[in-house]
Amino acid sequence: MQRPVRGKAVARYVAGVDVRGEVIMQSEAPDIEAEPGASNRTRTRLPVMPSPGRRALRSLLLALCASSIASSAFAQPLPVPATYPILQATMTTHAIDRRVVTSSDGTRYQIFRAVPQDAPPTEGYPVLTLLDGNAVFDQLTPQMLERVPGLVLVGIGTETEERFDTRRRSLDYTPPLSADGPVPDPERPGGEVGGADRFLARLTGELRETAEAGLPVDPARRTLWGHSYGGLFALYTLLTRPDAFSRFAAISPSVDWGGGVLGRIEAEAPQEEGRRLRLLLAYGDSERRRGIGPDGKPVAAPKGPHPEGMRSKAAFAERLRRRAGLEVDERVLKGLGHGETLPASLPLALDLAAR
């Protein structure tokens, strides 16, 4: 019997990349409504409890979620307006558009696209899908796009005027904690967490259909990028829908969220012996949780290397590199804190997706 090919691992330090936010977007295409697409099932095997036990399970999971969110204060960014200066920039390699779409369940998203001006290769364009699309397209620069003239970029964002929609990403990017569906968000009254399975179905269904409409795309060269909660979602997708993308970039992923639910998902995920998947897992060596000041508002985290902040990510990378059919490229971004790894990772993700 042929032995499975174990994933290769490359660990290295790279210098922090100085990325000054310029952005990408020229809204020439009219707003359109997304066409409903087929729903996609995940491979996560969540326990289905007998009806009398479901309420108790829900309470327990909520408690786990609350403790985990409290211990990962850097998972949600502070409010920053998105100004998109790249809308005014001169583009030499890509045409930029953005549009608002409504999914079949009534959820509204904003889709950003950077489409190459060059003709596609015979197999079609490679595509890089970027979560937190507002934030990413607020920090991309024309110079970044010039290094990948043949790559399509798709940013999945929301209608917010800020870089991040914290309530939406808390729901969409966090793995299910209950077979009953999302549970209340203990950090945001009225919000929910645990909707990653539903968002993944939308992302690979109707949102993908809308974003790729009219483009010749190479389905074997799709890459998914996410930061923080988005990095958590990228790993969740890798483990539950490895067929949805061939390459993944998980940046500063919140691997401890939900009491370690991602670890349990990894333990149950089947080995992908027949696939050749690539993962970029990058994080800063100075990631620390924000503190809370006397007025109850978040205060900046102290600077400097913080080995404790790297430990759980490094341990999860070690678990993943033992998986068949997965090549893990682990990068430690020297001198960078949690928020700084987002723009610093973009050139790395562009290079991964354009290979």
**Catalytic site residue from 94, 227, 306, 338:** 338
Would the pLDDT of 293 be above 80?
no
Q: Is 228 a catalytic residue?
A: yes
What are the residue ranges of helices labelled H in the chain?
51-70, 133-137, 142-146, 166-172, 196-202, 208-211, 229-240, 257-268, 307-320, 341-354
Secondary structure element (H or E) that encloses residue 114, with its range = strand 108-116
Residues of the chain with pLDDT > 70: what percent?
73
Would the pLDDT of 187 be above 50?
yes
pLDDT average, residue stretch 6-19: 38
Helix, strand, or coil here: 264? helix
Retrieve residue 208's tokens: 């993908």
What pLDDT, in 10s, does the model give residues 56-66?
Answer: 445 444 444 44
Cβ neighbours of 334 (radius 10 Å)? 15
**Catalytic site residue from 103, 178, 228, 252:** 228
Would the pLDDT of 54 be above 60?
no
* Predicted pLDDT of residue 300: 67
pLDDT average, residue stretch 49-74: 46
User: Could you tell me the pTM of the whole model?
Assistant: 0.79
> Concatenated DSSP letters for 274-313?
T--EEEEEEEETT----EE-TTS-EEPPPPS--HHHHHHH
The gap between the terminal CA atoms of the chain, to the nearest Å, is 32
The residue among 87 and 265 whose pLDDT is bigger is: 265
CA distances from 249 to 10, 72, 87, 316 (A): 14, 20, 26, 14
**How far is 257 from 67, CA to CA, in rounded Å?**
9
pLDDT average, residue stretch 215-225: 98
* Predicted pLDDT of residue 273: 86
pLDDT band at 76 (very low <50, low <70, confident <90, very high): low
* Predicted pLDDT of residue 290: 61
**Catalytic site residue from 287, 327, 330, 340:** 287
Retrieve residue 331's tokens: 């990068």
* Predicted pLDDT of residue 47: 38
CB 336 within 8 A of CB 284: yes
Strand partners, 291: 299
The residue among 30 and 48 whose pLDDT is bigger is: 48
**How far is 96 from 206, CA to CA, in rounded Å?**
20
Helix, strand, or coil here: 128? strand
* Predicted pLDDT of residue 5: 42
- Find, among 40, 59, 210, 50, the residue nearest to 129 by Cα: 210
Could you give all domains of the chain from N- to C-terminal order, each with its CATH number? 19-271+339-354 (3.40.50.1820)
Q: Is 287 a catalytic residue?
A: yes
**How far is 49 from 56, CA to CA, in rounded Å?**
10
Would the pLDDT of 3 be above 50?
no
Retrieve residue 261's tokens: 């639910």
Q: Is 39 a catalytic residue?
A: no
Strand partners, 2: none
pLDDT average, residue stretch 10-31: 32
Whole-number CA gyration radius for the chain? 19
* Predicted pLDDT of residue 28: 30
* Predicted pLDDT of residue 241: 98
Would the pLDDT of 126 be above 60?
yes
